Amino acid sequence: MDVRIGSTLLRLMVGDITKQDTEAIVNAANSSLMGGGGVDGAIHRAGGPRILEECKKIVAQIGSLPTGRAVMTTGGNLKARFVIHTVGPVWSGGGRGEDELLRNAYYNSLSLAGDKGIRSISFPSISTGAYRFPLERAAAIALTTVRDFVQEHDFFEEIRFVLFREDDYRVYRQAWEKISGED
Ligand code: AR6
């Protein structure tokens, strides 16, 4: 599904984020930045060892990455030139600031990409796998954050949500319809 928000194309699709040709892709990492399972594992496998080398340098400089923050490395062997690593919150019932932390993960990824002059970026569904954030709630936060960001900054040509499963895509699509219907 493609929609236009000002000069930015917002695309929701089913696919594998490691195959995307946007300038940057976003990794749903953990604070250690040392790789893991899920989309994190897939990105490190497809991108090769240079990504981990750069992650190690970042950790040596700033320590572990706090939840909601974002840093950038090369894309290594990926089509994307850059990987933006962010850390979404672990869901623990909703009373520990999870919504705001998830919003921060999207917002800070977009903001960092913008600072680096990146014009196209792909996101996975951050926190909705191993971190168990409820999907519908996460989709609404992800899409509202992106929509609000794009309404304030017009430098992105394209922002993609690359959903790994058809069911996740359907939930994101419905969330978008609900959000855009409220305008
Ligand atoms: N392309 C797009 N989406 C994918 C791909 C892929 N290749 N592979 C999985 N997904 P998760 P989290 C989807 O668990 O919940 C890691 O071990 C997946 O179906 O990857 O933020 C990290 O190191 C799900 O919808 O990330 C952390 O420790 C979404 O990506 C922890 O998991 C996110 O699931 C982070 O957990």
Q: What is the pLDDT of residues 30-80, one digit of tens each?
A: 999 999 999 999 999 999 999 999 999 999 999 999 999 999 999 999 999
Residue 11: strand, helix, or coil: strand
User: Which of the residues are catalytic?
Assistant: 40
Residue 86: strand, helix, or coil: strand
User: What is the Rg, in whole angstroms, of the alpha carbon atoms belonging to the chain?
Assistant: 15
Residues in the ligand 1 pocket, defined by CB under 6 Å: 16-18, 28-30, 36-40, 42, 88, 124-131, 162, 164-165, 168
* Distant-in-sequence, close-in-space partners of 147: CB < 8 Å, separation ≥ 6: 5, 10, 179
Q: Does domain 2-182 have CATH number 3.40.220.10?
A: yes
The model carries a pTM of 0.98
pLDDT mean over 12-27: 98
- What are the phi and psi torsion angles at 17 (to 5°)? -65, -25
Residues 145-162 pLDDT 10s: 999 999 999 999 999 999
Please state, in angstroms and as integers, the Cα–Cα distance from residue 41 to each residue in 84, 103, 179, following that order: 14, 23, 32
Ligand 1: centre distance to CA 161 (Å): 13
ipTM exceeding 0.95, yes/no: yes
Atom of ligand 1 nearest to the CA of 165: 19
Question: Best substitution site from 39, 104, 123, 136 to test ligand 1's pocket, by max atoms within 8 Å of Cβ?
Answer: 39
For the chain, domain boundaries: 2-182
Ligand 1: centre distance to CA 12 (Å): 17
